[in-house]
């Protein structure tokens, strides 16, 4: 069985398909490439359905961004300045004040009246 988290390369998947076409069994191919039989089965199924293009490595989408493009631009503008230029009562950047400033207008809590 393959190491957990190991990714096969495009070349390995294509070579695995070639071996299957030459008569090797899924078990033999899995052993040669140090992957599970289910991986080999999945490669063969994808190849039969969509050809070699289906064996290419897909780019993972990753984690959803927490900030919009507009918010990222705002934040980068603020970071380039000294916190005191923004009339903040402290001289160091912390996450809490910036999180409060980045909230969408509909979520801004009105300041208490004195």
Within a domain: 94? yes
Q: Which residue range is the domain that position 80 belongs to?
A: 69-105
For the purposes of burial, counting CB atoms within 10 Å of the CB of 71, is it exposed (0-12), middle (13-18) or buried (19 or more)? middle
Taking residues 23-46, report their average pLDDT.
94
Together in a domain, 73 and 98:
yes
Together in a domain, 76 and 49:
no
Within a domain: 86? yes
Within a domain: 101? yes
Within a domain: 19? yes
Within a domain: 33? yes
Number of domains observed in the structure of the chain: 2
Within a domain: 2? no
pLDDT for position 23: 95
pLDDT for position 40: 95
Give the model's confidence band at 99: pLDDT under 50 very low, under 70 low, under 90 confident, else very high: low
pTM: 0.50
pLDDT for position 1: 47
Taking residues 10-35, report their average pLDDT.
94
Helix then strand then coil, in percent of the chain rounded to 5, is 55, 0, 45
């Amino acid at each position: 069985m393959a190491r957990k988290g190991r990714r096969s390369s495009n070349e390995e998947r294509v070579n695995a398909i070639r071996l299957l076409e030459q008569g090797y069994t899924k078990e033999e191919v899995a052993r040669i490439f140090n992957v599970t039989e289910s991986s080999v089965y999945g490669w063969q199924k994808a190849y039969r359905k969509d050809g070699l293009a289906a064996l290419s490595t897909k780019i993972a989408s990753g984690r959803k961004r927490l900030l919009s493009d507009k918010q990222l631009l705002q934040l980068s503008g603020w970071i380039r300045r000294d916190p005191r230029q923004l009339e903040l009562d402290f001289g160091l950047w912390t996450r809490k004040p910036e999180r409060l400033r980045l909230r969408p207008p509909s979520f801004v809590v009105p300041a208490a009246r004195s």
